[in-house]
Amino acid sequence: MASTVMTINLFGAVALLVFGLAQVREGMQRAFGANLRKGLATGTSNELRSFISGFVATVALQSSTGTALMVASFVERQIIAPRMAQIVLLGANIGTAATAWVVAGSVEWPSPLLIFSGLLAYRAGSPRRRAGGLALIGIGLMLLSLQLVGIATEPMLRSPEFVKFIIVLDNAWPLAFLISAGIALLSSSSLAAIVLILSLASTGLLSASLAVTLVLGANFGGALLPVVASLRSPPSVKRALLGNFLVRSIGCVIFLPLTEYVTDVVSAVPSELPMNAHLMFNVVTAALVWPFVSLLSKLTCRLVPDDETGPDKPRFLVPNRQTIPSVALANATRETLGIGDLVERMLLRTYEAFQGNDLSKLSEISLLEAQVDTLQQAVKAYLSELGRTGLDKDDSQRSLMIINYAINLEHIGDIIEKVLLPQVSRKASLELRFSPQDYERLKTLFCLTIENLHMAQTFFATHQVSLVSTLVDAHSKIAHLEKHAAESQLERLCDGCDQHIETSALHLDLLRDLKMINNHIISVIPLAEENHASASGAVESEPFPRTAVSHLL
């Protein structure tokens, strides 16, 4: 009975640690998710920046798994090259080791203060403050869980069964390795496994070599989790995550036979041996693999070949599942999100061409727009066929929302290909130069448009109400910026102060077209909110009525 209570207490403490980690990750994503995604997407121009981006993102998210999945999504959209993605993940691996060092070395007494402060911030009302408060609560729970893990493991010193189990593990390192990997996999966090290993090591029950073996198993399990999560993902995603798994697997193959030597190196501070081993493993592995990331990318391409279906073929519209409306609508939602990813790639390529006057960035715009058209037509046909089977009111409105969002994305693709592309091409071909003020204004508009599309995609998938005000504020900012810039430009033209008429006209056209794109982006809100209001039956308390968005447009 006593052993059962100890086990429950330990599992509860570990569960609290995992829950705290999840709250920190959720809070950081809500508060800085767009900036983190933007930093990862734009911070991969060279190897060093890629490595630093992976490190910083992981420290912020408290999860190398979260970073890995984010990077994989960028690889799928061809925002990050596969080779750079592997370097980002090397930085992420070291980032999670640094996080373990900081978390395990923290004291427990600030825990109640952090939870209390986080709760106050969470009730403040502002979306950014609520997200920050959630992160503070998560940190407080993590520190509290460390104290509970220590309390739960203390009685184990007096448990003969547990001591015998540790002795068995000490003489069977493959079993110890697999158990540690399983803990990391089940808890969805190598950090949770490392903290548990540290707590056990502090009791003196674990030998140094066993502690190192358990650390290696936690690293292996932490890299395996994203691979398991990506089994149904596109080949490009599988390759990125498989590459990181191969890196850690190779590291484990190298380190396991050298456990005794590793122990001698990292045992300068015995109480911190697991953290030292964790950090050493990831640093040494990154140093060994970095020169060979190109070969690693080629290997993953051979291990995971491309699908036989082309890029313009729907991936999620499975006809034989249309008999279940909820599944069919989920399939259509995933396909439409893919259309949004293609549109984002078009925007990014246009922005890169605008910045660097590089026409090569525009070479794939027409191909991407053709894919957007094809997939949008496929979604409409899929949902039209579903509608003929008979849908209830809620499913019918959800179907209409998906169709309308897909149509708006297709319109954005048309604007990019037929309007923005010729304008940016003219700027690059004629080497036109904007004034510093106009250039910075256009850069800001491009970045805001891309970030708004990120938020619209998230809102379309999750209906997260807190994003409504953020999207509306961003759209209002864009409308104000466009209006102020247009008025300023026209005043200069009327006064004869602008010496470059052609550049001024191009500037006004780009402002207008980017605003038009944002009008299509913001249109996702009334459709979703109307659906939400109808589903809840609360028409009079509709959180964001259609008229408000219509006024903005």
Same domain? For 338 and 221 the reply is: no
Same domain? For 420 and 527 the reply is: yes
pLDDT of residue 11: 77
CATH code assigned at 491: 1.20.58.220
pLDDT of residue 439: 83
- Most confident by average pLDDT, 49-58, 133-142, 397-406, 523-532: 397-406
Tell whether 283 is covered by a domain. yes
Weakest-pLDDT range from 15-19, 303-307, 495-499: 495-499
Same domain? For 78 and 160 the reply is: yes
Same domain? For 351 and 496 the reply is: yes
- Tens digit of pLDDT for each residue in 278-324? 888 889 999 999 998 889 888 988 888 866 555 567 777 876 555 57
What is the distance between the alpha carbons of residues 242 and 248, in angstroms, rounded to a whole number? 10
Question: Which one of 271, 303, 335 terminates a domain?
Answer: 303
pLDDT of residue 52: 86
Does pLDDT of 548 surpass 50? no
Question: Which one of 247, 268, 303 terminates a domain?
Answer: 303
Tell whether 512 is covered by a domain. yes
What are the backbone dihedrals phi and psi of residue 232, each rounded to the nearest 5 degrees, phi first?
-105, 15
Tell whether 311 is covered by a domain. no
Find all residues with CB under 8 Å of 417, minimum gap 6, and list them: 346, 365, 366, 369
pLDDT band at 405; cut points 50, 70, 90: very high
Same domain? For 430 and 536 the reply is: yes
Share of the chain above pLDDT 90, in %: 6
pLDDT of residue 406: 92
Same domain? For 8 and 64 the reply is: yes
Same domain? For 342 and 295 the reply is: no
Same domain? For 151 and 111 the reply is: yes
Tell whether 221 is covered by a domain. yes
pLDDT band at 407; cut points 50, 70, 90: very high
pLDDT of residue 536: 38
Q: What count of Cα atoms within 13 Å lies in the side-chain half-sphere of residue 469? A: 7
Tell whether 455 is covered by a domain. yes
Full-model pTM: 0.57
Q: How many domains would you assign to the chain?
A: 2
Share of the chain above pLDDT 70, in %: 78
Same domain? For 32 and 153 the reply is: yes
Please provide the distance, in angstroms rounded to a whole number, between the alpha carbons at the two ends of the chain. 66
Taking a C-beta distance cutoff of 8 angstroms, is the pair 358, 450 a contact? no
Tell whether 89 is covered by a domain. yes
Q: What is the mean pLDDT of the chain?
A: 77
pLDDT band at 546; cut points 50, 70, 90: very low
Same domain? For 328 and 289 the reply is: no
Question: Which one of 250, 269, 303 terminates a domain?
Answer: 303
- Most confident by average pLDDT, 272-281, 364-373, 436-445: 364-373
Tell whether 312 is covered by a domain. no
Tell whether 149 is covered by a domain. yes
Find all residues with CB under 8 Å of 473, minimum gap 6, and list them: none
Does pLDDT of 185 surpass 60? yes
Same domain? For 331 and 438 the reply is: yes
Does pLDDT of 528 surpass 50? no
Taking a C-beta distance cutoff of 8 angstroms, is the pair 141, 19 a contact? yes
Same domain? For 97 and 158 the reply is: yes
- Tens digit of pLDDT for each residue in 197-250? 877 777 777 788 888 888 899 889 888 878 887 776 778 778 888 888 999 999
Structural domain for 345, as ranges:
319-552
